[in-house]
Amino acid sequence: MLTEVAALLAPGGICRIREYDADSLSARRAGRSYWLFCPTVLNVWSRRSIRMLAQQSGLQVAKTHHGTEATFSDWLSTVRNRSLAELLTCSARAILRKAHFFGLAVGADTVFYLRARAA
C-alpha cells in the first residue's frame, strides 16, 4: 500500500500515518491484554516496522510525533467535568501521552510523516 502512496505523491510530498505504537511503554506494560491485540485489529506496527516499510516503498520518515497532535489548550477544552481534580488528571494524561524516554514513548499513539524523495 505504501508503494502505491509513494507513487501518488509529488516529490517531497508528505504522507501522514497515525499508528498505535506496539513498542510504547503502555503497550509493553499491558502485554497480550493490550487493547489493540484483539480480533478486529489486523496489524499493529512498531516504529521500526513503519521505518522499514517506508524505506522499502521509497519514502523516508521526515518526522515522528508522539502522542496527540492537539495543543494542550485544545486537549483541556474537551474536559467535560471542569473540577480541579479532573483538570489535573487530564493535564497529567496529556503530558504523559507526549513523553518519551530512552527511545520509548509512554503513550501508544504516534504520528509518522513520510516524505517522498525528491526527483
Q: Where are the domains of the chain?
A: 2-116
pLDDT of residue 33: 67
Note the pLDDT tens digit of each residue in 89-109: 878 877 777 777 777 777 777
List, as own/partner pairs, every contact residues 50-57 make where C-beta atoms lie below 8 angstroms and the sequence separation is at least 24, other chains included. Answer: 50/17, 50/19, 50/112, 53/2, 54/2, 54/112, 54/114, 56/2, 56/3, 57/2, 57/3, 57/5, 57/6
pLDDT of residue 14: 94
Nearest CA-CA partner of 108 in 97, 116, 119, 93: 97
pLDDT of residue 49: 86
pLDDT of residue 31: 72
pLDDT of residue 8: 93
Instruction: Please list the ranges in the chain whose pLDDT falls under 70.
Output: 32-44, 68, 119
Phi, psi of 38 (to 5 degrees): -130, 165
Give the C-alpha separation, 53 to 34, whole Å: 23
What is the pTM (predicted TM-score) of this model?
0.68
- Dihedral sign computed on CA atoms, order 16, 20, 23, 24: positive
